[in-house]
């Protein structure tokens, strides 16, 4: 954890049993409860972006068939264009469009 960065104090509500378990787990790992919880959240957020990256890599390797079936080709008339507000409101969409437009 980079302690040179400013932190913001916040509060969460947990059941007493969960708080006890968090304290015990943090103690066993030699961390404060704050550091323990922050580490879990960072791992989860990192895991999500790694999933998006894996999906993008998989899609980037896909090659369309040489001949497109007519019913599939007809779907192109339903192409969607997103407004900047829609992109700004959906971080997953923004991520995928950013990767696609590079």
For residue 34, report the phi and psi dihedrals to the nearest 5 degrees. Answer: -60, -50
Tell me how far CA of residue 32 lies from CA of 36, 61, 68, in angstroms.
Answer: 6, 43, 58
pLDDT, one tens digit per residue, over 30-50 is 999 999 999 998 888 877 778
pLDDT, one tens digit per residue, over 69-87 is 888 878 877 777 888 898 8
Q: Which residue has the higher pLDDT, 79 or 15?
A: 15
Burial of 79 (0-12, 13-18, 19+ CB in 10 A): exposed
Domain layout of the chain by residue ranges: 16-100
- The pTM score is 0.45
């Amino acid at each position: 954890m980079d302690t040179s960065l400013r932190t913001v104090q916040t509060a969460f509500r947990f059941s007493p049993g969960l708080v006890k378990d968090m304290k015990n787990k943090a103690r066993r790992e030699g961390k404060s409860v704050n550091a323990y919880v922050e580490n879990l959240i960072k791992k989860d957020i990192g895991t999500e972006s790694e999933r998006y990256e894996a999906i993008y890599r998989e899609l980037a390797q896909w090659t369309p068939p040489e001949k497109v079936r007519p019913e599939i080709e007809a779907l192109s008339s339903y192409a969607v264009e997103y407004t900047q507000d829609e992109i700004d409101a959906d971080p997953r969409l923004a991520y995928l469009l950013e990767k696609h437009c590079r």
